[in-house]
Amino acid sequence: MKVLTANRLSDGRVLYWGAQGLATEALAEALWLDDAEAERALASAAARPDLFVNPYLVEVNAGEPSGRDRFKEFIRSTGPTVGHSRPDIEGAA
Amino acid sequence: MYRYDEFDHALVSERIAEFTDQVRRRVDGRLTEDQFKPLRLMNGVYLQLHAYMLRVAVPYGTMNSAQLKKLGHIARVYDKGYGHFTTRTNIQYNWPALSDLPAILTELAEVEMHAIQTSGNCIRNVTTDVFAGATDEEIEDPRPWCEIIRQWSTIHPEFSFLPRKFKIAVIASETDRAAIRTHDVGLQIVRGENGETAFRVFVGGGQGRLPHIAQEIAPAVPGRELLAYLTAILRAYNLLGRRDNIHKARIKILVAALGIDAFREEVERQFETLRHEDLRIPDDELARIQAYFAPPPFETLPKHSGPFDRALLADPDFARWSRNNVRRHRAPGYASAIISLKPVGGVPGDMTADQMDVVAKLARRFSFDEVRAAYEQNLVLPHVKLDDLPEVWRTLHAHGLATANADLVTDVIACPGLDYCSLANARSIPVAQALSKRLADLDFQEKLGPIRVNMSGCINACGHHHVGHIGVLGVDRKGEEFYQITVGGSPDEQAALGEIVGKSLPAEDVAPAIERALNRYLAIRHEGERFIDTVRRTGAEPFREAIYEAA
DSSP codes, B213-278: --EEEEEEEEGGGHHHHHHHHHHHHHHHS--S-GGG-SHHHHHHHH-HHHHHHHHHHHHHHHTTST
Residue B524 C-beta-side C-alpha neighbours within 13 Å = 21
Q: Which strand ranges, in their side-by-side order, compose the sheet holding A23-24?
A: A23-24, A14-17, A2-8, A52-61, A64-65
Tally the domains of chain A. 1
DSSP state letter for B48: -
Looking at residue A90, what is its pLDDT? 42
Q: Note whether A13 contacts B50, CB cutoff 8 Å.
A: yes
- Please state which CATH class domain B309-398 belongs to: alpha beta
The 10s digit of each residue's pLDDT in B141-162 is 999 999 999 999 999 999 999 9
Query: Please, what is the end-to-end C-alpha distance for chain A in angstroms?
Result: 41
Helix (H) / strand (E) element for A74: namely helix A70-78
Instruction: Quote the minimal CA–CA distance from A2 to chain B in Å.
Output: 17
Q: What is the mean pLDDT of residues B459-466?
A: 97
* Whole-number Cα distances in Å, A74 to A11, B6, B155, B325, B446: 20, 49, 39, 39, 39
A87 belongs to a structural domain: no
What pLDDT band is residue A92 in, cutting at 50, 70 and 90?
A: very low
Q: Where are the alpha helices (DSSP H) in B303-398?
A: 306-314, 316-325, 353-366, 389-398
* Residue A47 lies in domain: 2-78
**B464 and B456 Cβ atoms separated by less than 8 Å:** yes
Q: Which residues of A touch B29 (CB under 8 A)?
A: 49-50
Q: What is the mean pLDDT of residues B385-389?
A: 98
Residue B198, pLDDT > 50, answer yes
Q: What is the mean pLDDT of residues A71-90?
A: 81
What pTM does this model have? 0.96
Q: Note whether A84 contacts B95, CB cutoff 8 Å.
A: no
A50, A71, A91 ranked by CB distance to B481: nearest: A71
Q: What is the mean pLDDT of residues B192-216?
A: 96
B184: closest CA among B126, B107, B264?
B126
Q: What is the mean pLDDT of residues B72-96?
A: 97
Residue B282, pLDDT > 80, answer yes
- What angle is formed at CA A5 by the lines to CA B103 and CA A65, rounded to 5 degrees? 130
- Please state which CATH class domain B413-548 belongs to: alpha beta
**B341 and B432 Cβ atoms separated by less than 8 Å:** no
Q: Are strands B453-456 and B470-477 parallel, antiparallel or unpaired?
A: parallel
The 10s digit of each residue's pLDDT in B117-145 is 999 999 999 999 999 999 999 999 999 99
Looking at residue B194, what is its pLDDT? 87
Instruction: Quote the minimal CA–CA distance from A50 to chain B in Å.
Output: 6
Long-range contacts, stretch B440-444, CB < 8 angstroms, 24+ apart? B440/B344, B440/B345, B440/B410, B442/B320, B442/B324, B442/B404, B442/B405, B442/B408
Looking at residue B519, what is its pLDDT? 98
E-assigned strand segments in B377-427: 379-385, 413-414
Please state, in angstroms and rounded to a whole number, the distance separating the CA atoms of residues B279 and B531.
45
Please report the residues numbered 9 through 48 in chain A whose beta carbons come closer than 8 angstroms to any beta carbon of chain B: 9-14
Residue A93, pLDDT > 50, answer no
Please state, in angstroms and rounded to a whole number, the distance separating the CA atoms of residues B106 and B319.
43
Q: What is the mean pLDDT of residues B50-55?
A: 98
Q: Note whether A71 contacts B81, CB cutoff 8 Å.
A: no
Looking at residue A87, what is its pLDDT? 54
Q: Note whether A12 contacts B27, CB cutoff 8 Å.
A: no
A57: closest CA among A47, A68, B478, A48?
A68
**B448 and B398 Cβ atoms separated by less than 8 Å:** no
Q: Cα dihedral angle (B452, B87, B418, B346), rounded to 10 degrees?
A: 60
Q: What is the mean pLDDT of residues B29-34?
A: 96
The 10s digit of each residue's pLDDT in A12-61 is 999 999 999 899 999 999 999 999 999 999 999 999 999 999 999 999 99
Looking at residue A89, what is its pLDDT? 47
Domains B6-110 and B309-398 are alike in CATH topology: yes
**B358 and B426 Cβ atoms separated by less than 8 Å:** no
Higher-pLDDT residue of B391 and A91 is B391
Interface residue A76 vs chain B (CB under 8 A): yes
State the average pLDDT for chain B: 97
The 10s digit of each residue's pLDDT in B427-460 is 999 999 999 999 999 999 999 999 999 999 999 9
The ranges assigned to domains in chain B are: 6-110, 142-292, 309-398, 413-548
Residue A86, pLDDT > 70, answer no
**B43 and B52 Cβ atoms separated by less than 8 Å:** no
Q: Note whether B82 contacts A14, CB cutoff 8 Å.
A: no
Residue A91, pLDDT > 60, answer no
**A59 and A66 Cβ atoms separated by less than 8 Å:** yes
B188: closest CA among B207, B165, B168, B212?
B168
Interface residue A90 vs chain B (CB under 8 A): yes
Q: What is the mean pLDDT of residues B53-58?
A: 98
- Residues of chain B with pLDDT > 90, as a percent, come to 98
The 10s digit of each residue's pLDDT in B477-522 is 988 999 999 999 999 999 999 999 999 999 999 999 999 999 999 9
Which CATH architecture best describes the domain B6-110? Alpha-Beta Complex (3.90)
The 10s digit of each residue's pLDDT in B399-431 is 999 999 999 999 999 999 999 999 999 999 999
Instruction: Quote the minimal CA–CA distance from B251 to chain A in Å.
Output: 31
Please state, in angstroms and rounded to a whole number, the distance separating the CA atoms of residues B485 and B474.
9
Looking at residue B478, what is its pLDDT? 86
A91 belongs to a structural domain: no
- Beta-bridge partners for B285: none
A71, A85, A91 ranked by CB distance to B479: nearest: A71
Q: Where are the alpha helices (DSSP H) in B315-383?
A: 316-325, 353-366
Question: Greatest CA span in chain B, whole angstroms?
Answer: 68
Handedness of CA B149, B151, B154, B160 (dihedral sign): negative
DSSP state letter for B178: S
B413: closest CA among B442, B451, B448, B439?
B451
The 10s digit of each residue's pLDDT in B303-319 is 999 999 999 999 999 99
Rg (CA), chain B: 23
**CA B138 to chain CA centroid, nearest Å:** 19
Q: What count of CB pairs under 8 Å joins A to B? A: 91
Name the CATH superfamily housing domain B142-292.
Sulfite Reductase Hemoprotein, domain 1 (3.30.413.10)
Helix (H) / strand (E) element for B9: namely helix B6-27
The 10s digit of each residue's pLDDT in B511-547 is 999 999 999 999 999 999 999 999 999 999 999 999 9
By a Cβ cutoff of 8 Å, what residues of chain B touch chain A? 26-27, 29, 32-33, 47-52, 80-82, 94-95, 97-99, 346-347, 350, 352, 355, 400, 418-420, 424, 427, 429-430, 433, 476, 478-481
What pLDDT band is residue A85 in, cutting at 50, 70 and 90?
A: low
B420, closest residue in chain A (CA to CA)? A80
Handedness of CA B115, B117, B119, B123 (dihedral sign): negative
A49 belongs to a structural domain: yes
Q: What is the mean pLDDT of residues B102-113?
A: 98
